[in-house]
Structure 1
Amino acid sequence: MKTLLLNKEEVSRLICMKEVISAVEEAYKAFSSNQVLQPDYIGIHLPPPRGEIDFKLSYCGSNELISMKASSGGFANNLKDHGVPSGMGTILLFDARCCALLCVMEGSLITGLRTGAAGAVSVKALARKNSGKIASIGTGSQARMQIRAISEVMKIEEIHAWNNTPETLSQYKADIEGEFGIPVVMAKSKREAVEQADILITTTRGKGTLVQADWIKPGTHIVAIGTDQQGKQELEPEIFRNAKIVTDSLTQCIEKGETWHPLNKKIITRDEIHGELGEVLLGWIPGRESDQEVTIFDSTGMAIQDNITSEKIYRNAIASETGTFFEFFKS
């Protein structure tokens, strides 16, 4: 059996954001309906100045595929010393019927796309229908990806953005307004941005409270992206009191997501977590039930998102005869 090799440029041509949003919706439904086997991911932290590498694995019964993603980050000296990016990703896709390797594809773009799509899926399910203003705490590549995805599912009237570096914030404004034509207001403080939000997006590597509870207005939908392991935090735990809390994976979020913090401080109990986004999409539990409730989507990221997104890319590659085939062994 031959294995397909896809580089980053090929991957970028083989899928659009609308397809990724659809794939992520499928992934959440499959996960919450017990069609997925997804072990805890493994991370290796290497001695400074190097960073970490994580391995995420999933099996999906609906497509009979196994995916494994290796994703690295924090290697600050990579470009200077090795001529490669500070973070990289690779996805291996296996045929679960025989475990033959079907495809090796560049994975860092997929990670960015499917994480952005996750925010968009949560907005469709949980944000107020008349939402127009977005606050973005963080203005890096994932903050941009969130806008790219959310603009596919709603009309964004304006964005109130904050970054502690004025030059970075100014570049974000230029990039977003240039690509999407959406007005960007450069907030002088986090509070100034958050108080405007119908939808609040946090995409930092924060390790403490960045957003305080009394800044959140009724009816806000919060897309919490940055916290995906112990030690990270963006939201004051008090925000979770009386909010509707929806997770991507309940197990992951109570162990390493933003939800861990209010649980640890006993502000909420596990029974007060509303459920998983897949359950909302399946109609098993309600989404937003009033224009006044605060909804929180805690996204830690799941291997099944990579699985179903990379499947679509692989199928599109076969259909369009894109990529390079090679053989590990002759049958």
Structure 2
Amino acid sequence: MKETLLFTREQIAEVLKMDDVIASVEEAYRLFSQQKVMLPPVLSFEVEKHHGEVDIKTGYDTADDIICVKIASGYANNQRDYGIPNGLATILIMDAKNSTPIAIMDGSLITDMRTGAAGAVSAKYLANPSAKKVAIVGTGVIARWELEALSRVFELEEAFVWGRSSEKVTAYIQEMQTRVGITYTACSDLENCVSQADIVITATSSKEALIQSDWIRPGTHIACIGADMPGKQELDEALFRRAKAFTDSSAQCIERGEVQHAVREGILAESDLTEIGQVILGNKPGRMSESDITVFDSTGLSVQDITTAKKVVAVLKERGGNLTVNLI
């Protein structure tokens, strides 16, 4: 009988640390640009009557012979109606040699943390090294992990926080003061929020441009995390006339990322996009001057789940005492 490991969110939280996740995400971008992983197109659909959306991301790590399947969802009313997180995910890790299941695990924490780490990795390679001030656009779980991850890469001094609800902005600041010890400023005006920042993190579910081009000062780095499905948008596409555009996967971002609108309008061509993995590998330039505006479009790659989940499996297997099930 082949035993399959079962890992809960609580077990994963005990061993998964942000510094390790940042390293895993950086490794993921390298592997993707080295073509050492096979990533089929993302399958997405909306569950409109329940105010939900579902993403199915899969990947094959050819080096370690591992297949990963993740079903992730965002349901706007989960917390209110059922007392469970709005974002949920489950990850299945399989042995590529014979497709037997190695592990089934909660994928929510892995998804949240690796998504948060993406912005930090982009800033590490694309932001001005002297960056001290960050604007956080959005107040959800991802916006929390984004700031925590960024604080591991930069010596931040101040965060400007904007959200549609002043109550949620207050709650965000109250929580993050215990996680990242910097000065916080609640912003009611979005232009005022982003125009003061060296780094801007956008993490909303918006389907229309929130940030206008002329609000962004020279030298700013923007990490766009929210646009991950066709139709979503956080930036005025005209900003890409001034900015250099970077992606996690250019093909995926054209289809479902922040750049989709600028490409459709003819402002950007695929040849204008640089994948972050190529910058990390030193194959392509990133920021060329202190005054460059850089935009990173993060749609999320299955390889980020693979590199992070592999570490979780290795650590928890070594600890022992895990639940198992015989599925075959």
TM range (shorter): over 0.9
Structure 2 unaligned residues grouped into runs of 5+: none
- In structure 1, the partner of 2:312 is 313
Q: How does 1:162-201 map to 2 (within 5 A)?
A: 162-201=162-201
Native 8 Å contact 1:66 1:96 kept in 2: yes
1:156-201 C-alpha deviation (Å, 9 max, x unpaired)? 1100111121111111121112222111111130000011110001
Letter in 2 for 1:57: T
For 2:324, the equivalent position in structure 1 comes to 325
Give the Å deviation of 1:309: 0.6
- SS of 2:152's partner is coil
Give the match's secondary structure for 1:180. Answer: coil
Amino acid at match of 1:119: G
Asked whether 1:5 is paired with 2:2, we answer no
AA matched with 2:212: Q
1:61 aligned residue = 62
CA distance in 2, matches of 1:290, 1:177: 33
Aligned residue for 1:174, secondary structure, equals helix
Aligned to 1:69, what secondary structure does the other structure show? strand
Root-mean-square deviation over aligned CA pairs? 1.5
State the alpha-carbon separation in 1 of the partners of residues 43 and 125 from structure 2: 30
**1:40 and 2:52 matched:** no
Q: Which amino acid aligns with 1:112?
A: D
Shift of 1:79: 6.3
**Number of residue pairs matched?**
327
* C-alpha distance in structure 2 between counterparts of 1:49 and 1:222, whole Å: 32
Contact 2:75 2:87 in 1 (8 A): yes
CA separation of 1:233/1:326 partners in 2, compared to 1, >3 Å: closer, same or farther?
same
Contact kept, 8 Å, 1:68 with 1:92, in 2: the verdict is yes
C-alpha contact 1:5 1:105 (8 A) present in aligned 2: yes
Q: What residue is the counterpart of 1:224 in the other structure? A: 224
Query: Does structure 2 retain, via aligned residues, the 8 Å contact 1:238–1:262?
Result: yes
Instruction: Tell me, yes or no, if the aligned pair for 1:227 and 1:257 is still in contact at 8 Å.
Output: yes
Q: 1:234 to 1:313 in 2, by over 3 A?
A: same
Equivalent position SS for 2:310: helix
Q: Deviations over 1:94-143 (max 9, x none)?
A: 11122111000000111100001111110111010100000111111111
Percent identity over the alignment? 40
Amino acid at match of 1:128: N
CA drift at 1:47: 4.4
Q: Is the 8 A contact 2:91 2:104 kept in 1?
A: yes
2: CA distance between counterparts of 1:158 and 1:185? Answer: 8
Label 1:207 to 1:79 Cα distance change in 2 as closer, same or farther (>3 A): closer
* 1:11-90 alignment runs, 5 A limit: 11-74=12-75, 76=77, 80=81, 84-90=84-90
Q: In 2 relative to 1, CA 71–320 (structure 1 residues): closer, same or farther, beyond 3 Å?
A: same
Output the CA distance in 2 between the equivalents of 1:290 and 1:178.
35
**One-letter code aligned to 1:42:** L
Amino acid at match of 2:215: W
Equivalence for 2:243: 243
Opposite residue 298 of structure 2, the aligned amino acid is: S
Listed as ranges, the gaps of 5+ residues in structure 1 are none
Report how far residue 264 of structure 1 moved: 1.2
SS at match of 2:110: helix
**Comparing 155-164 and 263-272, the one that deviates more:** 263-272
Matching residue of 2:133: 133
Q: Work out whether residues 68 and 91 of structure 1, in 8 Å CA contact, stay in contact via their aligned partners in 2.
A: yes
Normalised to the residue count of structure 2, the TM-score between the two structures is: 0.96
CA contact (8 A) 2:166 2:188 kept: no
Instruction: Supply the distance in 2 between the matched residues of 1:76 and 1:153 (Cα, whole angstroms).
Output: 33
Q: CA deviation at 1:76?
A: 2.2
- Separation in 1 of the partners of 2:189 and 2:282? 38
Q: Which runs of 4+ in 1 moved over 3 A?
A: 77-81, 83-87
Correspondence for 1:117: 117
